[in-house]
Structure 1
Amino acid sequence: MKAMKFIIPVLVILLLRAEPALAHIKWFVEFDIAEPPRQLTEVLNGTFWLLLLVASVGLLILYSIDIKWSRAQRFDWFGRFFSNQPNIVDTIARIGTGVFFVMLWLIGDVILAPDLLGDAAFLPYLHLFAAIFVLFESTMILSALCILALYGYGITQYGFYHMLDYMLFPGLAAYLVLKSIGGTRLEQYRVPLLVVGMLFSFLWVAIEKFAYPQWFDPFLDSNEFLTMGLPRDFFLMCAAFVEFTLVYVLLTGRNVVSLAALALNLMIIAGAVHFGKVDTIGHFLVIVILIIMTIKGPSVYSFFSYRENRGVLAQAGIIVMSYWLALGLMVSMYYGFHYLAYGRP
């Protein structure tokens, strides 16, 4: 119980100051992705299990509240605010995509993200064309093809494992394709595909904090205040749980989704202000997608639906157990795909 009294306030502080935890470490330090990740026997230590217990209790309480709240009313304040602008989501997505790819065109020597450097002559043009083609709905599919070409080129240069950090780009391409062709039943899945692609990227890099805590040492050496005096390994494990848990709520919650998306966006914007241009450009599309999530709420991408004929605690318990499965699945994928890409050390 003494440990619980210590960890819970730490997690609350981390949630309130989570912008350093959400920084994409590959944008700021040198790293070797072929380096074997930390052994699972080291990851699954006593601190891991205690933090998992704290997160599970917190989620059980949160989902119990969310279920009762959803039964009483649907929270769609942001959606209602923009109800007289039915195309607001598509407008935000297209403007955001255009601005992002113009920024990459101006930089010139990157492939979709700050850590993916490339000197091929065609890269700036693909970024520019991706921006131009979102101007017209009929040509958005060409913008998607440019994005997929950039993503594919990134795989040839950095490998599929590294590019799993950036699944938001295939999600964005799917969004643009479905919006461009229009008039099909598949069009309703354009926002879910966009959102799930982005959230997968967050889940993936959350596991990175378990697997490669040593990558953060140079970053924390120059930003020691971020740890708040806590041991680094403990701080990073807390940060990983905060990030993974918050994104899981975005995938599975109902009324809390808009508020959680807004909170996460404010954290990321605060981090961008602190860490500067690289972080701002790297997270720009994420900020755009989180704005869309704030307006849309859970829509059809929520993996659970609350049922009136089931008990609140029973439903909340099922979602918490699914959280355990999701965490286990992501850890298994992270380590399994690393083995497929690089083999054993």
Structure 2
Amino acid sequence: MKKKQIIPAIFLILIITPVTALGHVKWFATQTPVKEPIENILTPFFLLFALFIAILLGLLTQVLPKLMKIAWIQKTEKKLASYRHLSRYILKYGTAIALILQVLSSSVFAPEFKVTTMWEIYWIWITIAILVIPHHIATKIASLSLLVLFIKVLGNVGLFHILDYGYYLAIIGVLLIGKTKLEEWGFPLLYLGTGLSLCWVAVEKWVYPHLTVEIIHHHHVPTFGFEPEVFIVMAAFIEFIVGYLLVVGILNRVLSVVVTILFVLTTTIFGYTEVVGHFMIHIVLLIFIIEGVSFYHPPVAMHTNILNKVIFVSLNFIFTLSTFLLIYYRFA
């Protein structure tokens, strides 16, 4: 690989590195959440870093196509594409395994959503049993069963909290519309649902930074020389960026692999709870690695001019960031 090709690849990996510090703060924090004053969130560093990221993402639309011309990446892309027929099976049985891990830890969907009654346990096991049946009708029945569980959890914790796990609605949707005329909308829905969920969870770290500071100190999370408060801002930006890239269709297989590796590394810090909580995300990212974005007509594809693409991605990032922060802060 030529040196000028190596540099962008290394840069992309390094810029995403802080995500290794990200566990879901609700799973590990012991303090009571206290909302940070908005003026403490919108610091000069936050605003300048947001502007830097917006420009960087705009330029990313030009860097990635060059990376995709590298011979070994093209070869890998073709190899992974040959496994696309397995994607729906991976989602189906991966969901079943995720539910097994959850019910064995007395939870459903996430470690903080505890299962407290025997009927819930039976319901989850029945859902798992139906889900593993190799027939699309059984898959649809299991997805409806999952939807009932999701609505039940929604009723217990409220809409604001359940939005952290909105990607489960996307998963349910993909399983439900399989083998129908709407099947082609499945994986784009999965991209959208997962991306929006990651963006939403990222904002939590800005609004409740003291929870993440506690986790950093308690679990001895490396901050790479940055002050914890500064590191939290940067790490949350990276998580938000990953979600944003999924939505706009820029996160291709190369970045999916990087993000998957970094999520795996978090298990060395947070242990089994991290495995239970993020197992479904690993399954989703595995599907993204296999599928790429070949089935997805991303919003950025509306523009063919280089400058228009850069401006579109940069301005939309600022708009999306502002919207998520405003809505989260208003209802937090």
Q: Normalization by structure 2: what TM-score? A: 0.87
Greater Cα shift, 168-177 or 133-142: 133-142
**1:130 aligned residue:** 127
**1:240 aligned residue:** 236
Deviation at 1:239, TM superposition (A): 0.8
Runs of 4+ in 1 over 4 A off after TM superposition: 10-14, 67-73, 75-79, 82-86
Supply the distance in 2 between the matched residues of 1:258 and 1:85 (Cα, whole angstroms).
13
- Residue 287 of structure 1 aligns with an amino acid whose one-letter code is H
Deviation at 1:150, TM superposition (A): 1.6
Deviation at 1:215, TM superposition (A): 1.0
**Selected match of 1:329 from 311, 323, 329:** 323
**1:283 aligned residue:** 278
1:305 aligns with 2:304: no
Q: Could you say if the C-alpha distance between residues 91 and 11 of structure 1 is closer, same or farther in structure 2, counting changes exceeding 3 Å?
A: closer
Supply the distance in 2 between the matched residues of 1:77 and 1:71 (Cα, whole angstroms).
10
Supply the distance in 2 between the matched residues of 1:237 and 1:57 (Cα, whole angstroms).
18
**1:99 aligned residue:** 97
Deviation at 1:225, TM superposition (A): 4.6
Deviation at 1:305, TM superposition (A): 0.4
Deviation at 1:214, TM superposition (A): 0.9
Supply the distance in 1 between the matched residues of 2:263 and 2:79 (Cα, whole angstroms).
23
**1:272 aligned residue:** 267
- Residue 283 of structure 2 aligns with an amino acid whose one-letter code is V
CA contact (8 A) 1:78 1:294 kept: no
Q: Could you say if the C-alpha distance between residues 127 and 303 of structure 1 is closer, same or farther in structure 2, counting changes exceeding 3 Å?
A: farther
Counterparts in 2 of 1:168-317, with a 5 A limit?
A: 168-179=167-178, 182-184=179-181, 186-254=182-250, 256-298=251-293, 299-300=295-296, 302-305=298-301, 307-308=303-304, 310=305, 312-317=306-311
| Per-residue Cα deviation, 1:64-109 (whole angstroms, up to 9, x for no partner) | 2235667999x765552145545210111112011111222322x2
- Residue 128 of structure 1 aligns with an amino acid whose one-letter code is W
Output the aligned Cα RMSD. Answer: 2.6
- Residue 291 of structure 1 aligns with an amino acid whose one-letter code is L
**2:4 aligned residue:** none
CA contact (8 A) 2:96 2:128 kept: yes
Deviation at 1:19, TM superposition (A): 1.1
Supply the distance in 1 between the matched residues of 2:226 and 2:70 (Cα, whole angstroms).
41
Deviation at 1:274, TM superposition (A): 2.9
Unaligned runs of 5+ in 2: 1-10
SS of the aligned residue for 2:20 comes to coil
SS of the aligned residue for 1:129 comes to helix
Deviation at 1:241, TM superposition (A): 1.1
- Residue 129 of structure 2 aligns with an amino acid whose one-letter code is I
Counterparts in 2 of 1:51-90, with a 5 A limit?
A: 51-66=49-64, 77-78=75-76, 80-90=78-88
| Per-residue Cα deviation, 1:247-280 (whole angstroms, up to 9, x for no partner) | 22232244x5111111111100111233211001
Supply the distance in 1 between the matched residues of 2:279 and 2:158 (Cα, whole angstroms).
24
- Residue 23 of structure 1 aligns with an amino acid whose one-letter code is G
| Per-residue Cα deviation, 1:139-190 (whole angstroms, up to 9, x for no partner) | 11221122112211212221111111110111111011001xx231x11011
Q: Could you say if the C-alpha distance between residues 12 and 258 of structure 1 is closer, same or farther in structure 2, counting changes exceeding 3 Å?
A: closer
CA contact (8 A) 1:258 1:295 kept: yes
**2:16 aligned residue:** 15
CA contact (8 A) 1:144 1:177 kept: yes
- Residue 337 of structure 1 aligns with an amino acid whose one-letter code is F
Q: Could you say if the C-alpha distance between residues 27 and 301 of structure 1 is closer, same or farther in structure 2, counting changes exceeding 3 Å?
A: farther
Q: How many residues of Structure 1 are paired with residues of Structure 2 in the alignment?
A: 319
Supply the distance in 1 between the matched residues of 2:77 and 2:276 (Cα, whole angstroms).
27
**1:28 aligned residue:** 28
| Per-residue Cα deviation, 1:223-247 (whole angstroms, up to 9, x for no partner) | 3452234222111111111111232
Q: Normalization by structure 1: what TM-score? A: 0.84
Deviation at 1:134, TM superposition (A): 2.1
Q: Could you say if the C-alpha distance between residues 320 and 67 of structure 1 is closer, same or farther in structure 2, counting changes exceeding 3 Å?
A: farther
Deviation at 1:24, TM superposition (A): 0.6
**2:8 aligned residue:** none
Supply the distance in 2 between the matched residues of 1:85 and 1:223 (Cα, whole angstroms).
38
SS of the aligned residue for 2:113 comes to strand
Instruction: Give me the identity figure in percent.
Output: 21
CA contact (8 A) 1:110 1:123 kept: no
1:145 aligns with 2:140: no
